[in-house]
Amino acid sequence: MNPMMAAKAYSAIQGGAMPTAPAAAPEQSGFAEMLTNVMGDMTQTSRAAEGQMASAVQGQGSLIDVVTAVSSAEASLETVMAVRDQVIAAYQEIMRMPI
């Protein structure tokens, strides 16, 4: 995983599309797989919260369900942002190391 791939993945997530795994490595394992799973879970949680809000606006949903879904989506997003911040900090620290 290089910075360009990370930037493309982040950009794709902002647009709502999930990045696909490279064709050369069908069996991902480790950190890259974990990040892909976390991003997928965050996207699903956000969409579920949006669905709950839409049903509540239409009068079909419960306010408790909306609050629960939004809280879950917020926690998921905060987790992803914290991981992103730590990855960026680690990358910056590596770039400051003398060769």
For residue range 19-73, list pLDDT tens digits in order.
454 555 555 578 788 888 888 888 888 888 888 888 888 888 788 888 888 888 8
pLDDT at 26: 54
- Please give the average per-residue pLDDT across 5-11, as a whole number: 62
CA torsion sign for 9, 12, 14, 18 is negative
- Within 8 A by CB and 6+ apart from 48, the residues are 69, 72, 73
pTM of the model: 0.58
pLDDT in tens, 82-98: 988 998 999 999 999 98
* Spatial contact of 40 and 18, defined as CB atoms under 8 Å apart: yes
